[in-house]
Amino acid sequence: MATHVRHPIWLREVRPAGARTFASLYTVESFARATISSVIPIQAYEILQSEQSVSVLYTVVSLLGLSVTLFMPMLIRRFARRWVYTAGACLLAIGSLFFVTDTLFGQALGMLCRVMGASALSITLNLYIMDHIRKTEFIRSESLRMAWSTFAWTGGPTLGILLYTRYGIYAAHGAVAVFALILLALFWYYRLSDNQMIAAGRSRALNPISNIGRFIAQPRLRLAWLIAFGRSCYWTTFFVYGPLFMVIAGEGEVAGGLLISAGNALLFTAIYWGRAGKRFGARATIAFAFAAMGVILFAAGWVSTTAPLITGALLLCGALFTIAIDALGSTVFMRSVHPYERSQMAAVYRTYLDFSELTPPMVYSIVLAFFGLGSVFATLGLLMVGCAVVSWRYVPKSM
């Protein structure tokens, strides 16, 4: 009897990780990031007093964040995955401490901590999902995760602005710290563990450059990256140029804010897109969504400022189809990556987010030198059509 160990009763009551486990973690994480998503650019502008300087600051932080993302597999290999996830949640809270200094140095460090934390959380969460969710259940899991995050991305930005304008900088960033701590507690309550059956020791590509080469050498992974890059470019354009368009067209800042909130509110449709993917197949659904986005963007570019409310409605329709890619697109990566190199390839895969924040503004700055604001939507439409063709041609029918 001396060797008999009685574990606390509550340990047995924690259910095995499933789709709802990861949906709840992602939702709390989304609250931690969405709450100040609309506060950060305002705070940066108040410090720098220049739109161009704010753009430079975002560009520098994005480039540094890209570097951190590529080195993430080395951190995951050096430390247990759970500690990297824990560090990611802590970085969100630490970033809040830098933000409340209300200085340029603190702003830059806060933004960098936020990017690093989001990178660590995203990569490790995807690895946990691939460990605990069967391949046949990826579509259901991802659509549920997107749908649950609707609450965060719809209410979070508004909550952050209200706290910032009514109660000050400490209230807005303090809320982020609270959500980060809740996320940390929830994560350790679930006690997620690494899958020992697919230990990373079999993988030889640890150097970030080698990881990139290995990723590029696999057509399925290139395809998954392109799909994710395409839909992320739409969101980048929607969040930045949607409100800007409304202001330039004379509808005002409130109309721009309502446009963004309405677009985020549509995330609940991810569940229905997941059902469509299971019924018609991921290939057909993804290709159809990209094609619809292309047509809608061409129409938005053609209507442009002549009927701004119609253009805004078209952008919302485009967001509806983009959510289909949110719900289904990542399954291409999850079902294509080899188990023994998931952490390395997940880090390279996530660079789609960094490139989608850097590339569109660069391209649009050239296009806008010759054409009006509507050309931004038409240019993005070309990318969507290209993604539709590639998806229909190369996404396996079995998906």
Give per-residue pLDDT as tens, 92-124.
Answer: 999 999 999 989 999 999 999 998 999 899 889
- pLDDT at residue 386 in the model: 96
Query: Running DSSP on this structure, what letter comes out for residue 346?
Result: H
Name the residue with tokens 């993430």.
Answer: 72
- pLDDT at residue 9 in the model: 44
- pLDDT at residue 286 in the model: 94
Q: Is residue 202 within 8 Å of 77, Cβ to Cβ? A: no
The closest of 129, 26, 115 to 70, measured between CA atoms, is 115
Which residues, given as ranges, of the chain have pLDDT below 50?
1-12, 197-205
Rounded Cα–Cα distance for residues 329 and 130 (Å): 14
Rounded Cα–Cα distance for residues 137 and 150 (Å): 21
- pLDDT at residue 189 in the model: 92
- pLDDT at residue 199 in the model: 47
- pLDDT at residue 212 in the model: 85
Phi, then psi, of 358 in degrees rounded to 5: -100, -45
- pLDDT at residue 52 in the model: 61
Phi, then psi, of 350 in degrees rounded to 5: -70, -10
Phi-psi domain of 300 (left: phi exceeds 0; alpha: psi -120 through 50; beta: other): alpha
Rounded Cα–Cα distance for residues 244 and 255 (Å): 10
- pLDDT at residue 147 in the model: 82
**DSSP string across 134-190:** -GGGHHHHHHHHHHHTHHHHHHHHHHHHHHHHHH-HHHHHHHHHHHHHHHHHHHHHH
The closest of 308, 305, 287, 145 to 230, measured between CA atoms, is 287
Name the residue with tokens 């597999």.
Answer: 73
CA distances from 399 to 144, 266, 312, 342, 345 (A): 18, 24, 33, 19, 20
Give residues with Cβ within 8 angstroms of 149, minimum separation 6.
23, 26, 27, 30, 267
pTM for this entry = 0.76
Four-point Cα dihedral 246, 252, 254, 260, nearest 10: 10
- pLDDT at residue 289 in the model: 96
